[in-house]
């Protein structure tokens, strides 16, 4: 635990009481390091994950600046926070609103995101906004309709920058950057730093303070990581067995497809386990409802795709199950980082089929892990390990999926043609 209190970070009395009302007693490492730097006007580049307290790390100084900026009518948009998903937009906006509780000056904080009708968001902003937390596409939409002006923005935050780029928002980001004033403070937060995030940071930031907070989250949570060897067809039974064997109150199960979320959720419900699916094709209302019920402990298991689960905060998540393995090592980190927060011990369990061995091996390698494969009695894996597939790896980013792209196939064909028949003694690493 850090030994400096919130009082030493340079925050006003109003914000200190908001922090206290929120129940935060000590700043997290990222907050101790980032708050004074951001207050002083510096750009910041932070390697920080969900659970590290990063929202308040940029939120507190951002609100401090807005609190003391002379007011204009209508309100001038001063701070823009870009996030990859609608859930995260709603959560970040809510956390910021919580931090303004008790302010003498009202601060208008709006979340804007796609997937819902644009008009209510447009109407809500008629009186102007001080802070907008947005997904890039919807933000551009609103700017283009004249509902928002970016010329007055003094602080830009990119939250979960790696996800923003993973989700293909590079072009929208560029268009937004072109519309922002050149003189501004920029803050970039990301859990991982593949080359594309580094190059974005280079373009965006001026002499930033670089912060790399330890991976440990608030009050050093611990995550027990397990890998269970199991046949594909036995995974659903194994999951039910684990849910019976462990008193996990709230479990997030990751699967690969929308269809699988519904199918598995249905099977678990039939087994008497309160479960809901969460995927991108559900309406915003159904998603919010599923999340609210999960948070209220009315349902025990949420079966989700990576996309739908991105950025979700559930304080007491007790276990994460990788029913289908994540496609990349980064996704593995994002998935398991959802448990073991706020001082709790969390469990993560990965189901590893024979055909997943080489893929999971690469994930382990990226995170310097070596997990023993457990065999659970009655669910022992019987399938033989497939011959190791060729992985066309990206040395810095994730492991590209198991499916070969057209380009990979062409490259392999070219290599075969150049080298003659394959040599079975050669290793499996692609180029
Ligand atoms: P974040 O990393 O911003 O997603 O925050 C993760 C969780 O930690 C959120 O639920 C915050 O409300 C909570 N949190 C943030 N800062 C602190 C703090 N200093 N002490 C305790 N909890 C915190």
Q: What is the pLDDT of residue 134?
A: 97
CA of 52 to the centre of ligand 1 (A): 7
136 and 253 co-located in one domain? no
Q: Residues enclosing ligand 1, CB less than 6 A?
A: 24, 27-28, 31, 50-56, 95, 218, 313, 315
**114 in a domain, yes or no?**
yes
The single residue listed with the structure tokens 């007790």 is: 318
CB 278 within 8 A of CB 258: no
Residue 328 has which token pair? 């990349």
**Last-in-domain residue among 212, 232, 262:** 212
Residue 362 has which token pair? 């690469």
194 and 280 co-located in one domain? no
The pTM score is 0.58
The single residue listed with the structure tokens 């003498």 is: 104
Q: What is the pLDDT of residue 387?
A: 54
Taking Cα atoms as reference points, which of 356, 366, 312 lies closest to residue 337? 312
**412 in a domain, yes or no?**
no
Instruction: Determine which residue's CA is closest to atom 1 belonging to ligand 1.
Output: 53
Domain holding 302: CATH number? 3.40.50.300
Q: What is the pLDDT of residue 122?
A: 92
Alpha helices in 129-254 (DSSP H): 136-144, 161-166, 170-179, 195-204, 235-245
CA of 301 to the centre of ligand 1 (A): 23
183 and 285 co-located in one domain? no
Q: What is the pLDDT of residue 169?
A: 92
DSSP character for 80?
E
User: Can you give the residue range of the structural domain that contains 80?
Assistant: 4-212
SS3 label, residue 55: helix
**415 in a domain, yes or no?**
no
Strands 79-82 and 155-158: parallel
CB neighbour list of residue 237: distance below 8 Å, 6 or more residues apart: 379
C-alpha 297/C-alpha 330 separation (Å) is 28
205 and 271 co-located in one domain? no
136 and 227 co-located in one domain? no
* Alpha-carbon dihedral 183, 69, 30, 175, rounded to 10 degrees: -40
Q: What is the pLDDT of residue 423?
A: 32
SS3 label, residue 41: coil
**Last-in-domain residue among 161, 190, 212:** 212
CA of 23 to the centre of ligand 1 (A): 10
**354 in a domain, yes or no?**
yes
Q: Could you report the average pLDDT of every consecutive run of 10 residues in the chain (431 residues)?
A: 73 93 85 95 91 92 93 89 91 93 90 91 90 96 93 96 90 95 96 91 94 57 84 96 90 94 96 92 84 89 85 73 91 78 75 94 84 90 67 36 47 43 30 23
248 and 325 co-located in one domain? yes
Residue 93 has which token pair? 């906006």
CA of 51 to the centre of ligand 1 (A): 6
**428 in a domain, yes or no?**
no
Domain count, the chain: 2
CB 133 within 8 A of CB 83: yes
**389 in a domain, yes or no?**
yes
């Amino acid at each position: 635990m850090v030994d400096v209190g919130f009082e030493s970070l340079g925050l006003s009395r109003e914000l200190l009481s908001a922090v206290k009302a929120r129940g935060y007693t000590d700043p997290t490492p990222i907050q101790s390091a980032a708050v004074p730097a951001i207050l002083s006007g510096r750009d910041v580049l932070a390697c920080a994950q969900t659970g590290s307290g990063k929202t308040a790390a940029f939120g507190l100084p951002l609100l401090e600046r807005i609190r003391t900026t002379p007011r204009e009518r209508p309100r001038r948009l001063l701070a823009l926070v870009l996030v990859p998903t609608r859930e995260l937009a709603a959560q970040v906006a809510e956390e910021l609103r919580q931090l303004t509780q008790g302010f003498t000056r009202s601060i208008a904080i709006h979340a804007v995101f796609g997937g819902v009708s644009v008009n209510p968001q447009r109407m809500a902003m008629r009186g102007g906004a001080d802070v907008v937390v947005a997904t890039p596409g919807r933000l551009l939409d609103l700017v283009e309709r004249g509902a928002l002006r970016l010329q007055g923005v003094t602080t830009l935050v990119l939250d979960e920058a790696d996800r923003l780029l993973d989700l293909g928002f590079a072009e929208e980001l560029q268009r937004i950057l072109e519309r922002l004033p050149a003189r501004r403070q920029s803050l970039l937060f990301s859990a991982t730093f593949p080359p594309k995030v580094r190059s974005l940071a280079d373009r965006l930031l001026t002499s930033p303070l670089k912060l790399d907070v330890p991976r440990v989250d608030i009050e050093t949570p611990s995550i027990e990581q397990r890998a269970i060897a199991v046949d594909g067809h036995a995974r659903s039974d194994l999951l039910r067995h684990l849910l019976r064997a462990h008193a996990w109150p709230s479990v997030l199960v990751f699967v690969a497809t929308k269809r699988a979320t519904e199918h598995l959720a249905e099977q678990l419900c039939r087994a008497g386990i309160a479960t809901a699916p969460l995927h991108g094709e559900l309406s915003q209302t159904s998603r919010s409802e599923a999340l609210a019920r999960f948070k209220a402990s009315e349902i025990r298991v949420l079966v989700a795709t990576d996309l739908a689960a991105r950025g979700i905060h559930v304080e007491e998540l007790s276990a994460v199950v990788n029913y289908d393995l994540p496609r990349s090592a980064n996704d593995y980190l994002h998935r398991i980082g959802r448990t073991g927060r706020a001082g709790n011990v969390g469990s993560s369990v990965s189901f590893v089929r024979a055909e997943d061995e080489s893929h999971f091996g690469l994930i382990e390698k990226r995170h310097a892990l070596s997990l023993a494969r457990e065999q659970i009695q009655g669910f022992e894996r019987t399938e033989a390990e497939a011959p190791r597939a060729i992985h066309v790896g990206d040395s810095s980013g994730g492991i590209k999926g198991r499916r070969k792209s057209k380009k990979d196939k062409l490259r392999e064909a070219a290599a075969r043609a150049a080298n003659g028949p394959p040599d079975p003694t050669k290793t499996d690493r692609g180029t």
